[in-house]
Structure 1
Amino acid sequence: MLAAISAGGLVGALARYGLATAWPHRSDEFAWATLVTNVSGCLLIGVLMVLVTEVFRDQRLLRPFLGVGVLGGFTTFSTYVVDVGHAATAGAVGVALAYFLATVVGALVAVWIGVSGTAWLVSRRRGAGR
């Protein structure tokens, strides 16, 4: 299990690093790469939780590899907090507040969409298979 988590973490962290490198920002700018990383990661966490509880129940390593490993390494709420602090310290309080709120609201909405959308698709698939 630890090997699955480690391998997944490597994949997720490299993906996050790639996105952050491709989309850099100054301290006083909105951290779009981190926002996109965290919101998309939350969407995928919502999707994954439905799939591992409803579809792939017998796949013992799927949740540790994808959830804890890949998505745990990909999402970065510690960087988000540091980015908010850097923006505020740089005098961009409006940017810091907007980024703070956009991340919280975006992450929660993304998880909800991931869970409800996937649950709806799974239920339709099961209904069609009867």
Structure 2
Amino acid sequence: MIKLKLLLVMIGGFFGAMLRFALGEWIRINNEFPLGTFLINIIGCFCLGWFLTFVSQKGQIRPEFTLLIGIGFIGSFTTFSTFSVETLNLFQKGLIFMGILYVLASTVLGLVLAFLGYKLALSKRKSR
């Protein structure tokens, strides 16, 4: 069973990482603010908030889907390590305000969007 779980996380992770890379390349802007990582991470917060709430409300969804989509796909789509390194790079370049803005915007919007995803999943459940 552990091999199947690892395989599901690996498959989801592969596709999540590929999508993150593609979007990061597509969103690339020539200013100092790391917009690609920012958008990817807040989108991932919304998606994970929605998905985990949806799964918990459904009850009959197999736990393998949480491994494949939640941990594998969305987990590899978002990236805390890149966020951290990009923040350090902003500080090292002397862009202190932009670094602080990046941290605050990522944290606050990430939490807000995770909450909105959660609320959306609950509202879909109640409207049925």
TM-score over 0.5 for the alignment?
Answer: yes
Q: Which of the residues 22, 35, 39 maps onto 1:36?
A: 39
Matched, 1:73 2:73: no
- Percent of aligned positions that are identical: 27
Query: Secondary structure of the equivalent of 1:61?
Result: helix
Matches within 5 A, 1:1-130: 1-25=5-29, 29-55=32-58, 57-125=60-128
Q: Could you list the per-position Cα deviations for residues 36-76 of structure 1 after superposition, in whole angstroms to 9, with x for gaps in the alignment? A: 11100010001111111112533231100000000011000
Q: Which amino acid aligns with 2:25?
A: T
Query: Could you state the TM-score of these two structures normalised by the residue count of structure 1?
Result: 0.89
Query: Secondary structure of the equivalent of 2:63?
Result: coil
Query: Could you state the TM-score of these two structures normalised by the residue count of structure 2?
Result: 0.91
Q: Distance in 2 between matches of 1:105 and 1:44?
A: 16
Q: Which is worse superposed, 3-12 or 52-61? A: 52-61
Following superposition, which runs of at least 4 residues in structure 1 exceed 6 angstroms of deviation? Answer: none
Q: Which amino acid aligns with 1:22?
A: W
TM-superposed CA distance for 1:2, in Å, is: 1.0
